[in-house]
Every structure is written in structure tokens, then in C-alpha cells.
Amino acid sequence: MKTIYLDNAASTWPKPPGVKEAMVACIDEYAANPGRGAHKLAMEASRTLYSTRAKLAELFNVVNPNDIIFAPNATVALNQGIKGMLRSGDHAITTTLEHNSVRRPLEFLKDKNGVELSYISPKADMSFEIEDFEKEIRKNTALIVVTHGSNLTGSLVPISEIGALCKKHHIPFMVDASQTAGVFPIDVQEMNIQLLAFPGHKGLYGPQGTGGLYIDPQFDFEPLFHGGTGSQSELIEQPLTRPDRYESGTANTVGIAGLGAGVQFVLETGLDEIRRKEMELTTALLLELKKIPGITVFGQTSSVERSAVVSFAIKGLDAAAAAFALDRQFRIAVRSGHHCTPLGHETIGTINEGAIRASFGYFNDMSDVEALVTAVRKLATEVDRD
């Protein structure tokens, strides 16, 4: 009996076949050190890195691929952008739906450097009012950083409108696209996004250990890491040339080769088709969960524009116990707990008990929805019987 994988918000699985093929080809044919030599294999490795940057640039409408910096994950990318942009006495605006990868760097800077923070909460229907952001803008506001999609409720934050607000007030805008890159259209030019952090292993269908950060060419800040770049080695200080300025150390060439194949899959399949399929499954699950007594669905329960994340609770059954039962009895993999977003749980009122989260990817189908609904109905009935 196969495992039904419904934890795509954490990491998509399975991957398109081309991802494995690209990684194996790299290992077998040219896994040299990119940018560290002029020999044929090193040059081929460098071409692979640039090819992946170019594909990402096409996806996000980035003018210069070298403004895309590779990172091990979105967390490192977010730390680089947040800690690079904010200085002592600055003010930043964010939301209460943020992942700890946004919240913790901000709170660290608040404690260590005196950075001031404002948290914007959504309305009861999980939507945001742009006026709430504008009211928090101060003379020292140096950054607005928000998630594009909540990893807890699937709610979307209106990044186009916030981008326009930032443009109006000349405030740098940073977006955490961990739940939306590869699913929703993101145009850094049109949306006025100066910093875009993304993971490679989620909606871009690359391997774990990959991700990146787009940095608008008008901004330059201190790198999070300093060291060897393969270029301008005679300099004592870090080179200014991108992407080397922000990419010290040997790159994950094998992983980036896989990421390039994942992005190619997204480009060829099309964002509209990926989103259509994920929303079809999400809508079906929401409709069926509403029919089961004792089930509470958190966040938006209608088919409004949202991501393929559904969090819920079974009355009388601990979230961790429910996830354990789904895994062991039904071979269904979901996520339980606080999902690295305690602020999000405080916002929806589940900070004490947490929640069960199911999340779809392109390779799920309607039979997976049916299996989950059947299993949840059985668990809810057993609780009622007790």
C-alpha cells in the first residue's frame, strides 16, 4: 500500500522525473567546482548555475539573472534580506501570518539592534486591508516584509497592492514566496518587489537544500556570509560583483541542476494548469470536510483565491494523535502541530492545540482527497463513539 503524500507545503513529493535525471547527469558528467577553474568540467558546472538562474528570472520576470542569489533554503534567503536591509533604529512592517523564518530574524533585530516592528492582522475572513499597512508607516519605516501565502491557512496576502503602497511611499518591499513560487504568478517588476525569497524544494519541484533570493539592483548590503567566491580572490573584502558578492563557498551544483529541471517543469506545465489542479483538489476537500460532524476548518472555507493548504481539527482528538493515526492506520502523510508559525496560530485561535494540515501538489489526484476524507470521517466517528 503506497503512502498518500499530503505534506507538499513542507516539501513537494514526488518530483518530476527530470529532476532526478538532471542531478544524476551532473554527478556522472560534470560535478566539478563552478567558478573555481577554467577547465571544461568547471565551466559546465558554471553554465548549469547560470541556466537555472535564467529560468528563475523568466519565471519571476527578473531582468538580470545575476540578481538572483542561490541559498540553501528560503530561511537563509530571508535572513540575508532582512538582516541586510535593516539597521538600528529602523522600522519594519509585517503580518501575523508569518513563518518563523520571517518573524525570528525580525525579533532578533528588535532585541539586538532596536529595530521597531509593526504586525498587521487579517480580518475575520483572513483578508487584509491595505489601509492597515499604510497607517503603520513611519518616517523610519525601512522595510515591509510579508508572506505571499500562509502556510497555515492557505490565505493569500495582497502583494500587488502592498507593492504599490511601498512604491508610493518609497519603502523597500520583500516577499516570502515559500508557499506560492511555482504556483502563483509573481512578477517582481509589476508588483514592485525588491527582494523575493523562495525555496527550491516546494512549488518549484527542486530538491531540498536549494532556494534563493532576488535582490533588486538598486540595493546593496552586507552579505550574510564572507569567504571564497572564485573571483577577485586578490581582494581582502568581499567582491561587489553579483552573484559572487552573496554566494561565498562552493555551490550546491547537483541540487541547483535539479532545481533547474524543476523550474523547467513549472514553465512547461504552466502556472495556470498547476494552480487549476491544486485548487480543484482543495475545493473538493473543503466541501467534503464541511459535511463531517466535529470537523473545524481554519481560515477560508470557500473557493476564493487561496493556496492548496487546508488546516483543520477533529473535535475530541489531539492534532498530533490524528496525524499519527492517519500515517499509521491509513498511510496518509499530513503535518500537525504549530507549523513554525505560532503567530499564525495565535491569529486563528489554535495556539494551544495546533492543527492538522493537508497540502496538495501537482502530483496528487482526486483519489487522494477521497482517501483523506474517508479516513477523517472514520477518526471523527470513533471519537464520537467514545
| Mean pLDDT, 10 residues at a time, the chain of 386 residues | 94 98 97 87 95 98 98 98 97 96 97 96 91 98 97 93 98 98 98 98 98 97 85 75 92 97 98 97 96 90 81 93 96 86 72 86 98 97 68
Q: Which three cell numbers stand for residue 221?
A: 548590503
Chain centroid, CA 138 distance in Å:
28
pLDDT score for 386: 45
Cβ atoms < 10 Å from Cβ of 4? 22
Task: Give the CA diameter of the chain.
Answer: 74
β-pair partners for 213:
69, 197
pLDDT score for 233: 67
Taking alpha carbons only, the member of 329, 325, 347 closest to residue 338 is 347
Write down the residue that cell numbers 487522494 correspond to. Answer: 368
What CATH class is the domain 270-385?
A: alpha beta
User: Are residues 91 and 140 in contact, defined by beta-carbon separation less than 8 angstroms?
Assistant: yes
pLDDT score for 60: 98
pLDDT tens readout for residues 181-190: 999 999 999 9
β-pair partners for 317:
314
Residue 93 has φ and ψ, to the nearest 5°, of: -120, 135
pTM > 0.75: yes
Q: Is 97 helix (H, G, I), strand (E, B) or coil?
A: coil
8-state DSSP, 150 = -
Give the CATH number of domain 17-269; options: 3.40.640.10, 3.40.50.1220, 3.40.50.150, 3.30.930.10. 3.40.640.10
Domain parsing of the chain, residue ranges:
17-269, 270-385
Write down the residue that cell numbers 493515526 correspond to. Answer: 325
Residue 378 has φ and ψ, to the nearest 5°, of: -65, -45
| The one-letter amino acid at 265 | F
Report DSSP letters for 322-378, one per residue.
HHHHHHHHH-EE-EEE-TT-HHHHHHHT-TTT-EEEEE--TT--HHHHHHHHHHHHH
Residue 358 has φ and ψ, to the nearest 5°, of: -110, 140
Write down the residue that cell numbers 539573472 correspond to. Answer: 65
pLDDT tens readout for residues 275-298: 999 999 999 999 999 999 999 998
User: Are residues 290 and 58 in contact, defined by beta-carbon separation less than 8 angstroms?
Assistant: no
For residue 85, what are the contacts with CB-CB under 8 A and spacing of at least 6?
Answer: 142, 143, 172, 174, 195, 219, 221
What is the crossing angle of helices 271-290 and 366-385, to 10°? Answer: 20
Q: Please give the Cα distance from 17 to 14 (Å, whole number).
A: 9
pLDDT score for 383: 78
